[in-house]
């Protein structure tokens, strides 16, 4: 299986419908695509599989018309039915997820230390996600800080994406710690203009890459 290009993960937007009243998942997702996001993850724990599937189909179609990758959080049945990528946690079974997806779609896995990173890589993950700082959008996630991020990055050949408390102002700290990209929820989903917020993040990531070549 070919390695995922780390540059494909630069700005990774995760949707939420709970941040701004009346702003739905696809409102955020489509704005992120227009703003130049590299990845858009549909994360909707409040929806059933039947409710999530049509949204995933619409997002997948929109991503086909752009350069963005389409990812569904946790819901393997939806990802398989739609034919898009998936992101899973430690409790979801990485080997089973890889088997269900097949070799083509992208599989991301949340990890918090070197051992989990190595296990996910061996099980067929394409990239890893690490919670860097505390985030109110996922209070159960344990942040590992920049040092924890560096530790995971140094333990695997897979690209690593930082998430948790990341904004355009601190994104370069995460990139400097070795992350291939930055994942955000509220920095885009709660912004007055999600498209503009995405574009700002894209400019920050591209600028950092240009300066550090």
Residue 42: pLDDT band with limits 50, 70, 90: very high
- Does 138 participate in catalysis according to the annotation? yes
- Does 112 participate in catalysis according to the annotation? no
So what's the pLDDT on residue 121?
97
So what's the pLDDT on residue 139?
80
1 has a pLDDT exceeding 60: no
SS (H, E, C) 168-206: CCCHHHHHHCCCCEEEECHHHHCCCCHHHHHHHHHHHHH
Catalytic residue among 23, 118, 138, 206: 138
Catalytic residue among 17, 60, 110, 112: 110
26, 58 contact by CB (below 8 A): yes
What percent of the chain shows pLDDT beyond 70? 99
Report how far apart, in Å, the C-alpha atoms of 131 and of each of 83, 100, 102, 150, 166 are.
27, 26, 27, 12, 10
- Does 151 participate in catalysis according to the annotation? no
Catalytic residue among 43, 75, 98, 199: 43
Show the domains of the chain with their CATH numbers.
6-211 (3.20.20.70)
**pTM to 2 decimal places:** 0.96
Q: Could you read off the pLDDT of 83-105 as tens digits, one per residue?
A: 999 999 988 889 999 999 999 99
2 has a pLDDT exceeding 80: no
């Amino acid at each position: 299986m070919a390695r995922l290009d780390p540059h494909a993960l630069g700005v990774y937007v995760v949707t939420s419908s709970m941040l701004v009243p009346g702003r739905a998942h696809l409102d955020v997702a489509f704005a992120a695509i227009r703003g130049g996001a590299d990845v858009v993850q549909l994360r909707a724990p409040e929806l059933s599989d039947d409710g999530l599937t049509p949204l995933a189909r619409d997002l997948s179609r929109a991503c086909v018309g752009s350069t963005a990758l389409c990812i569904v959080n946790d819901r393997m049945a939806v990802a398989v039915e739609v034919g898009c990528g998936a992101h899973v946690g430690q409790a979801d079974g990485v080997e089973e997820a890889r088997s269900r997806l097949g070799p083509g779609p992208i599989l991301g896995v949340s990890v918090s230390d070197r051992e989990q990173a190595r296990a996910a890589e061996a099980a067929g993950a394409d990239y890893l996600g690490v919670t860097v700082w505390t985030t109110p959008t996922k209070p159960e996630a344990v942040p590992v800080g920049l040092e924890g991020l560096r530790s995971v990055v140094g333990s695997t050949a897979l690209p690593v994406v930082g998430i948790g408390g990341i904004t355009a102002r601190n994104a370069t700290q995460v990139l400097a710690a070795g992350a291939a990209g930055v994942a955000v929820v509220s920095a885009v989903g709660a912004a007055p203009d999600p498209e503009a917020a995405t574009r700002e993040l894209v400019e920050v990531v591209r600028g950092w890459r240009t300066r550090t070549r």
